[in-house]
Chain A
Amino acid sequence: MSEKIRNIIGDAEIQFFKDADPESIQEILNESTTDMAEYCRKRDDALVKIKFLANAALKRERDAKLLQLASQYREAIEKNINKPLQFLRSLLGQKAPAAFNNSLEKLSQEEIIELIKDQNLVNLLDQFDQDGTHNESKI
């Protein structure tokens, strides 16, 4: 029972700091920080590094998704699965055909990545999951 009260106070406290208006947060920092200019300097220095790392993490995530999708599309080509192939054909039609092999069957992993890199990768991955395309019947 007492743990319940402790958890409630702990959760309510976190909720407050997550949701409080920015002015309240600044007031709390002003009241509790002896040298606000020093805090801002240290925070801003840290933010330069943090934003750099965030961009690197974003690129890493995107590269991993691209590789995973390219592999799934390659598998769809080999198994001749309808829906992913239709999507690739439409992308191939939109891009300059000369830059790619004309035949889907001959698309390399790099060319698949080039085709899909501007798309919403999360949606494409979801589509593979939702469609169950690995089990879909062949054309």
Chain B
Amino acid sequence: MDFTKELEMVDFQDLFDRLTAYAVSRLHSVNIRLMDGKQPVDLVSDLLTKVLTGQRKAESATCSLDEFLFGCLKSDIDGFFRKEKIQWLSLVGDMAGESPSQDRVSSDLEAKKKFIFNQLQSVGADEDEIKVFSIWMEGIYKPKNVGIELERPAAEIYRIQRRLHKHLQKIHESAKAYL
């Protein structure tokens, strides 16, 4: 990345809020308020400080500054979950000795998707959320592009995704055997 250009253009307050909202969402999904004794606002402050003082090297990264920061934060949170043996969707099955047994797990991706769709519906996800989740499964994540697929404005997709995130958090316990 062109670190200088990125620094000149970044809106730090907006980026700070987005990173904090992400950290809060990840931690609250497993009912955790503090990570190693720190609030999400402190985690984000520490991360930005480390990047700006060169303790975490952003200059050589090939992605944008915000992608780099989100990637660092995800990695920090994943590492904490792993250390504390906390299971979340992104980590379930990664922990030694805790993989679900073969007879419980279908190796068929379609069956897993169907299971997750059913789980989502059982916790109250509506048809729009299922459609957005289906589009994610096709590798389309950007709300704008999801909106094009569904012929809906991006603002509406944001609202649907917010509901979907809440329902995904609810199903993580029941879906862990399949994920």
Whether A and B are associated in the same complex: the answer reads yes
Task: Please report which residues of chain B, range 81-128, place their CB below 8 angstroms from some CB of chain A when the two chains form the complex.
Answer: 89-93, 105, 107-109, 112-113, 116
Distance, CA A10 to CA B172, complexed state (A): 13
- Who on chain A is nearest to B66 by CB? A18
Distance, CA A16 to CA B70, complexed state (A): 11
B41 within 8 A of A: yes
* Contacting pair B41 A17 (CB below 8 A): no
Interface size class of B (residues with CB under 8 A): 35 or more
* Contacting pair A122 B144 (CB below 8 A): no
The residue from B25, B28, B45, B105 contacting A17, defined by CB atoms under 8 A apart: B25
- Who on chain B is nearest to A8 by CB? B136
> Interface of chain B, helix or strand or loop or mixed?
helix
* Contacting pair A50 B49 (CB below 8 A): yes
B14 within 8 A of A: yes
B80 within 8 A of A: no
Interface size class of A (residues with CB under 8 A): 35 or more
* Contacting pair A6 B179 (CB below 8 A): yes
* Contacting pair B139 A8 (CB below 8 A): yes
* Contacting pair A17 B16 (CB below 8 A): no
Residues of chain B touching chain A, judged by Cβ–Cβ distance below 8 Å, are 2-5, 7-8, 10, 12-14, 16-22, 24-26, 28, 39, 41-42, 44-45, 48-49, 52-54, 59, 66-67, 70-71, 74, 89-93, 105, 107-109, 112-113, 116, 136-137, 139, 141-144, 155, 158-159, 161-162, 165, 168, 178-179
